[in-house]
Structure 1
Amino acid sequence: MNMSATHVEDLKNVMEDWKNELLVYKFALDEMDTKFSIISQEYNLIHGHNPIEHTKSRIKSFESIVNKLARKGCDITTQCAKEHIHDIAGVRIICSFIQDIYNIMDVLRQREDLKILEVKDYIQHPKPNGYRSLHLIVEIPVYLTNRVEHVKVEIQVRTIAMDFWASLEHKIYYKLQNDVPHQLTDELKEAADIAHYLDEKMQNIKREID
């Protein structure tokens, strides 16, 4: 069936809106990368220790955004996406020690160029499957040529051990198409507990050295 010229033009306008909107989230990630680079260098200068091993950032794909809006029963619009999806832009911070995670959160709380909207502490309160991480939803201003956009970014802060476990668990669930036998889920939970024990052990060793 041939689409009318009007319908084609409407579709182009919709895609252009999404393209522009996702570009704003890209700018937000650029801002966050700069902030974390400054935090890392300054913290290292003051304390002689860099709390950030490395960072990763990503923007959700258009397909993932649409699927999430559909699951929430929302219209497929950029406005609904901004209101109902808070992890379109995401940053993952990998640390050496558990205490580094909370130090980073404390630093972010003191900054005036962002606002922490939500905290989910899956380290103190891990998920039933053993997942541990600190999740923050922050809002930062992005200064464009003709306006200021306040953009939400999800920040996940975790140790190397937590990240290794989460990556492995994701690969297993993806390979088995989410049909993971109980024996494997039990072993994954045990591995998560071992990873947490390692984190606590290394934190204690660092504390003794300090």
Structure 2
Amino acid sequence: MDGRDWGLFLQPYEQAVEELKVKFKTLRTELKAREAYAPIEFVTGRVKRISSILEKAKRLSVPMDKIETGIEDIAGIRIMCQFVDDIRRVADLIRVRKDLQLVYEKDYITNYKESGYRSYHMIVEYPVQTAIGLKNVLAEVQIRTLAMNFWATIEHSLNYKYKESLPEEVRLRLKTAAEAAFLLDTEMSSIRNEIIDSQRGFEEKSNVVSSVLSDIQELYFFHRVREAVQFQLRFNELWEQEDAFAIRVLADEIRSALMRAKKGGGA
């Protein structure tokens, strides 16, 4: 083993993970604003532990001076999606990005592993600006559904417990569970449009309610107390009646009243 400073060695990978997490979370926010639906559910990331790096280098016969290119997942990003189709969309979005370079892809969804493992992997080269200049680091982006991730997390824990030598019974039960997880994904995909429409409706209702309450509070700021109180009472009544359409109409009325208040017009 060489005498490298591991903290210094891993620093660019830690920076890459933090920057990529922010970029993919920002992508999620932008897509949700543009389309009222984002194919990204949430994003996580991690830098491989030193012990895991050493174990993988030994298993793959990677020399210590070749670790930066021989081990491609020291920096890891995981993107979770609701549907299998979302995985394809996210992969397409990553391919056209100009702030990273795609090295290659591994489709473990179409070509799933013997164990039942399913996920979509993209190895990318990401430029990190360090104190001594630009450094390109490799990172692995895993894209999977929530069901795939649940299964993979359990498998990873069991492999760690049994040192990669799973008992046959456990291996078979895991494979059965993988098929069940894939059937769940398939079933959810069959009603994808209904699920998305429902989520969009909920999001729209939530945004309208937030807008109504925020605008009513702003009317108080402009000393339009009587109007604010009347709008609040109407909103309370419509909320009890669960009249979403009438609440949207009320939102427009409140916004118009607020615009008049800002211009100094009469009530």
Q: Distance in 2 between matches of 1:76 and 1:31?
A: 26
What one-letter code is carried by the residue in structure 1 that aligns with 2:177?
A: A
If each structure's strand is expressed as a fraction of its own residues, which one has the higher value?
1
8 Å CA contact retained: 1:70, 1:76 = no
Matched, 1:25 2:5: no
Q: Distance in 1 between matches of 2:9 and 2:188?
A: 42
The match for 1:47 among 32, 35, 46 is 35
The match for 2:131 among 130, 145, 150 is 145
Aligned equivalent of 2:158? 172
8 Å CA contact retained: 2:102, 2:122 = yes
8 Å CA contact retained: 1:101, 1:157 = yes
Deviates more, 1:194-203 or 1:49-58: 49-58
Q: Distance in 2 between matches of 1:163 and 1:156?
A: 10
Q: Distance in 2 between matches of 1:180 and 1:45?
A: 45
The correspondence of residues 1-210 of structure 1 with structure 2, limited to 5 A, is 14-16=3-5, 18-77=6-65, 80-208=66-194
Per-residue deviation, 1:62:
1.7
SS across alignment from 1:52: coil
Deviates more, 1:120-129 or 1:41-50: 41-50
Q: Distance in 2 between matches of 1:177 and 1:144?
A: 37
Deviates more, 1:165-174 or 1:195-204: 165-174
Q: Distance in 1 between matches of 2:149 and 2:61?
A: 31
Give the TM-score of the pair, scaled to structure 2: 0.68
Write the deviation string for residues 151-196 of structure 1: whole angstroms up to 9, x where unpaired.
Answer: 1100111101001111122223333444433233222212111111
Per-residue deviation, 1:201:
1.0
* Superposition CA RMSD, Å: 1.8
Mark the CA change 1:200 to 1:141 in structure 2 (over 3 Å): closer, same or farther: same
Q: Percent identity?
A: 38
8 Å CA contact retained: 2:103, 2:123 = yes
Q: Which has the larger radius of gyration?
A: 2
What one-letter code is carried by the residue in structure 2 that aligns with 1:71?
A: R
Mark the CA change 1:174 to 1:67 in structure 2 (over 3 Å): closer, same or farther: closer
Deviation >6 Å, runs of 4+: none
Unpaired segments ≥5 residues, structure 1? 1-10
Mark the CA change 1:72 to 1:186 in structure 2 (over 3 Å): closer, same or farther: closer
What one-letter code is carried by the residue in structure 1 that aligns with 2:139?
A: V
Write the deviation string for residues 90-130 of structure 1: whole angstroms up to 9, x where unpaired.
Answer: 11111111111111111111111111111001111110111
If each structure's helix is expressed as a fraction of its own residues, which one has the higher value?
2
Per-residue deviation, 1:71:
3.0
Unpaired segments ≥5 residues, structure 2? 198-267
8 Å CA contact retained: 1:138, 1:153 = yes
Mark the CA change 1:57 to 1:204 in structure 2 (over 3 Å): closer, same or farther: same
Per-residue deviation, 1:141:
0.9
Using CA pairs below 8 Å that are at least 6 residues apart, which structure has the higher relative contact order?
Answer: 1
SS across alignment from 1:23: helix
Q: Distance in 1 between matches of 2:62 and 2:106?
A: 24
Matched residues, number: 195
Mark the CA change 1:126 to 1:73 in structure 2 (over 3 Å): closer, same or farther: closer
Per-residue deviation, 1:208:
5.0
SS across alignment from 2:157: helix
